[in-house]
Structure 1
């Protein structure tokens, strides 16, 4: 898997290329001209000066070539970024605004199709004025064979080698080369302990139990959701990682003095 990173993807889109692609998608000419006018030659000004609060300020004007276009327009701009049909073992995933992931299935140690797909993607990016950030682009290899290759020749993009990593954070989830949930669970526990610090601080300031419970349920809502959704897939609530997660919930329960559902109970509910 190759996790591709772009440098200022929104700001490097050329408007006339976008308008051409919108025409290929059947967008009407008046709407395309309206979008073109919206994206180009837009003056902006900044108010500055020591008397800003007293409404005595200086206005500095500048004209921008392309503003940060909406995510929808960028998605339409990259609609033709697809895997080549001749390489049926490869796929390209486009999610989360401008993240692109190249996934290749390697059979019989033949990486030619996978590497050709990466080269095709690099060429497509160059033709569309999208700058690949090779230093932040990472490669992850999942290999369950008993006899593994000792070395792996790195992928090169624009003359630079792509780093091969053992795990990568993708859409908030840590994916490991052995597809285990250890790294992801450890990250969740670390984040949870950081947020429990605020709970303890509120308790030291003698806030009520109701406020502490609301803080955990509202401000920490991202943590329990990630925690529970992970458990739905990994089914580790009875293993050591599940016990470590449950200890975090028990700690929050002691701080808030509010009954909180057990990890295993939430897991069963989410699975259903």
Structure 2
């Protein structure tokens, strides 16, 4: 069945335009969590360049999002997008009346039949969910709705204290969830306010269905800790803590007499992958102390493995160039337009940045790196 699902998946991908729902970063070619986080930060930092401005970021949590998709609504949306009626009918039959049971060893539970949801582990489930939510978009130019599968962030760019558009956007999102049977979990939905103004005024709380949304000083978004001051000390601290825990296993492997090759492979797979997750987003904005803390982990691993390891600076430089090149080659990427070639065709137009926060973020830094080649 999975082989046939892959055939259907390829057909759906060929039938849907690449420009559909550009701010959905999951399950798409040349998109990743680092793209989504970099976009969220760029939209925020660019707005903070303006006078009397601040950001409200709402991180929405859905309860069992994939399990609440209504097949009839899904196929109606697919038909509206232009998919063939026969395919829509097949998908409706595929998603409804599915028997499910649980097996543990040689025991199997009683079977139940499900009529809603997209099956977990199904080849088609990811793309069906993203197509189901493609119409969840911002209605006002000052608001951004970023999506990575069911991880949704609403970014309200506030100027002069006028939050009306942002609050209407949240109300509209709640109504959209009700219309599409998505259960918005208010208890796990959090709000982060980024306000760099010298004279800060108290911010009115946000309510969803008469419940106050908890305001937090930091939030872990797609694996990256974003703080209300947009610094990266907390993210660095968490990375170092986890890396030091994993160094313990590296030491144990050395005591077991593993070769340097095996130790290096373990480091690359388990520790380096942790330290470099979304590194293009945050590394250029780190303080000197934070960089030293991270590099100290690498130095410790070098002593344990008794072999040279790549520095984080070199990894960062390589990944910035690779990521920038992939965005430039992809005209459907939401941030493709930020890389504007000069008439010479050899360099790119630098971004105007008033603050070091924006200057050290990914996109301005990537342009500088490309221009220095």
TM-score under structure 1 normalisation?
0.88
CA distances 1:95-121 after superposition (whole Å, capped 9, x unpaired): 2x1111111111111111111110111
Task: Give the 3-state SS of the residue equivalent to 2:276 in structure 1.
Answer: helix
Which one has a bigger Cα radius of gyration? 1
Seen in structure 2, the aligned counterparts of structure 1 residues 137 and 231 have a Cα distance that, compared at 3 Å, is: closer
- The match for 2:71 is 15
Matched-pair contact (CA < 8 Å) for 1:231–1:267: no
Matched-pair contact (CA < 8 Å) for 2:58–2:189: yes
Seen in structure 2, the aligned counterparts of structure 1 residues 62 and 232 have a Cα distance that, compared at 3 Å, is: same
Matched-pair contact (CA < 8 Å) for 1:15–1:39: yes
CA distances 1:138-179 after superposition (whole Å, capped 9, x unpaired): 101111111001x22211112211011111111111111111
Which of 72, 91, 96 is the matching residue for 2:127? 72
1:17-56 aligned within 5 A: 17-47=73-103, 52=106
- The match for 1:89 is 142
Query: CA–CA distance in 2 between the matches of 1:126 and 1:63?
Result: 24
Which of 235, 240, 243 is the matching residue for 2:292? 243
Higher relative contact order (CA 8 A, sep 6+): 2
- The match for 1:148 is 200
Instruction: Report deviation, 1:206.
Output: 2.4
- The match for 1:184 is 235
Task: Give the 3-state SS of the residue equivalent to 1:93 in structure 2.
Answer: strand
Seen in structure 2, the aligned counterparts of structure 1 residues 269 and 94 have a Cα distance that, compared at 3 Å, is: closer
CA distances 1:31-80 after superposition (whole Å, capped 9, x unpaired): 0000001100012344567xx3xxxx667322122353411111111111
Q: Which runs of 4+ in 1 moved over 6 A?
A: none
Instruction: Report deviation, 1:267.
Output: 3.5
Query: CA–CA distance in 1 between the matches of 2:282 and 2:69?
Result: 40
Seen in structure 2, the aligned counterparts of structure 1 residues 209 and 5 have a Cα distance that, compared at 3 Å, is: same
- The match for 1:198 is 249
